[in-house]
Structure 1
C-alpha cells in the first residue's frame, strides 16, 4: 500500500504539527471548514470521557482492520509528553508505518515533548490520497463540545464517533453522560458507537453491567474490546497481540460503524 504523500511541518510556536498544504478551506461561522471530511471516504473520531479508558487501543484496532481498504492515518493529538506514539520511527513524510490486518496504516503523532497535533486542522487539509482518518482525541468529550471547531467536526453528518469507556462503574457512568451530551449536540445515533474495554476479563460487576445497559440506550451500538496493555506500554499494538479476540473486536467495531461494506 502506498504511503500518504502529505508532508508535515511544525508550527512556529512549537505547539502543533500542521499539513503543508495549499490555501485553507472556506470557514463557517464557527471558524471550521464547511465540508471538513469532503475528501475522505471515512472519518472516525475516537473519544472518551476521561483518560486511561482504552481509547488508543480502540483507535489502533480500528486502524488495523480498516487499512486494507486504502491509505489510513491515525492522528494522535495527545501532547508529546503523554504520547508514546511520538517515539515510533518515522518516514520522510513524518508518518510512522504500522502493520495492520491485510496492510499497513500510518500514524501522525507529536514529534517532540512540547508539541501537539492540531487534529481539526489536519482533517481540514487532509491529503486527497488518504481514504480514512482515525482521530485518537486526547481531550474528554465535554471539553471538545465546548470548542467550536471540534463541535462542528463531531456533529458533521457522516462523521463516526466512537465513545470509549473501561468496564467499571465510574468510567461507564461518565460515558453515559458523555453519550447524552454528544446526542444533544446533534451526533446521530447511527454515527455513535460505544466501545467498552474489558479490564475485568469478562467478569463485569452487576453495577457496571447496569451502566452498560444505560449506555447501550444512548448510542447506536455497543461492542466489547479486549484490554491490551501493550498500547499503553509502547504506544502501539504489537503484531499478533490480542489474537483472535482483538481481531473479532476490530471486526465488530467496523460493523457497528457501518463500515463493513468498505472493509
Structure 2
C-alpha cells in the first residue's frame, strides 16, 4: 500500500498573516527575502507582495514590466476601492503570489505618493482579501526607532509590529558589517520593547563561504531570543538575472521553504493553530 499524502497546512480562508520584511541597512537582501517568502506562502495561502519603495528606487517595476499590470497608479486614493479593482492592479506570477507595485514607465512623472502608514497598506490588503501579506519595506528600522524616541513621533517599525498577526522578518547580509548592523537592530528592538519572540531573522549570503567563528558567536548572542534564524544562500542566478529568474538554485528553494516554515511556526506559537480570523480594519482618517 502507498503512503498517504501529507496535507499542506493551508491558512484559514478568513485569516490574514502579515509579514513585513525589514532591514537596518541597504544591501541586506530584503527584496530577495520578500520574494522567496511570497513564493513560499503562495503555496499554502492567497498571497500578495506589496512593494512600498518609490518607483525609481525599486527593482519590482522592471521585474513586472512584461506582465502589463496596471499597478498602484490604477487605485485612486480619493475614491472607494473594490476587491476586483485592487486585484486587477496586481501582477500575478506563475509561482502564485500577486505583486502590487508602481508599474508605470520609468519616465512617467512622479505624481504617485505612496502612503507611509503601515495601516494604509494593511487596509489595502484587507480590501484585496489576501490571506498572507508580505510587505517589502524601504525604511531603516533601527534609525526610525531611535529617531522616534527623541522626537516623540511614531516609528514605522513599531506600527508594523502592532498590526494584527504580524511576524516581522529582519534581514541582514552575512558579512561582518551586516552582523554588526543586525546586533544593533536587535538591541534597538529590545530596548523599544518590541517582541523579538515573533521576529524571524533572515541572514543573506553574499558569497559561498561561511561566517568566521567569531561572527557566528556574535550572531548567536544577538538572535538567541528571536523566533528563528534562517540562512539564505548566495545564488548567482538571482544576482545575474534579478528576481525574474524562474530557476533559482535548489538550495535557494529549500531556504524559501525553511523561511516560510519559520514564519508559520512563529505565528502558530503566538496565536495557535489554525490562525484566528482577521479583524476588520477601521477606516483611516
User: Shorter chain as normaliser: what TM range?
Assistant: 0.7 to 0.9
What TM-score does the superposition give when structure 1 sets the normalisation length?
0.74
Map Cα deviations across residues 152-182 of structure 1 (whole Å, 9 max, x no partner): 2223463101111111111111111112222
Separation in 2, partners of 1:157, 1:215: 26
Give 1:218 shift: 4.5
Q: Where does 1:196-235 land on structure 2 (aligned, <5 Å)?
A: 196-228=203-235, 231=238, 235=242
C-alpha contact (below 8 Å) 1:76/1:117 kept by paired residues:
no
The structure 2 residue matched to 1:148, chosen from 154, 159, 167, is: 154
CA 228–80 in structure 1, closer or farther in 2 if over 3 Å, else same = farther
- Asked if 1:55 corresponds to 2:54, the answer is no
- Asked if 1:133 corresponds to 2:133, the answer is yes
Separation in 2, partners of 1:149, 1:40: 26
Find the residue that maps to 1:236 and give its secondary structure. Answer: helix
Separation in 1, partners of 2:155, 2:40: 28
The structure 2 residue matched to 1:118, chosen from 106, 115, 119, is: 115
Separation in 1, partners of 2:244, 2:122: 24
Separation in 2, partners of 1:228, 1:256: 21
RMSD: 2.6
CA 149–180 in structure 1, closer or farther in 2 if over 3 Å, else same = closer
Structure ranking higher in strand proportion: 1
Find the residue that maps to 1:222 and give its secondary structure. Answer: strand
Gaps of 5+ in 2: 1-13, 71-87, 275-285
What TM-score does the superposition give when structure 2 sets the normalisation length?
0.69
CA 235–117 in structure 1, closer or farther in 2 if over 3 Å, else same = farther
CA 65–116 in structure 1, closer or farther in 2 if over 3 Å, else same = farther
Give 1:54 shift: 0.7
Separation in 1, partners of 2:215, 2:113: 34
Q: Where does 1:248-259 land on structure 2 (aligned, <5 Å)?
A: 248-257=254-263, 258=265
Q: Where does 1:43-82 land on structure 2 (aligned, <5 Å)?
A: 43-82=18-57
Separation in 2, partners of 1:239, 1:180: 37
Map Cα deviations across residues 26-46 of structure 1 (whole Å, 9 max, x no partner): xxxxxxxxxxxxx75200011
Number of residue-to-residue matches in the alignment: 221
Give 1:231 shift: 4.8
Structure ranking higher in helix proportion: 2
CA 77–123 in structure 1, closer or farther in 2 if over 3 Å, else same = same
The structure 2 residue matched to 1:97, chosen from 73, 92, 95, is: 92
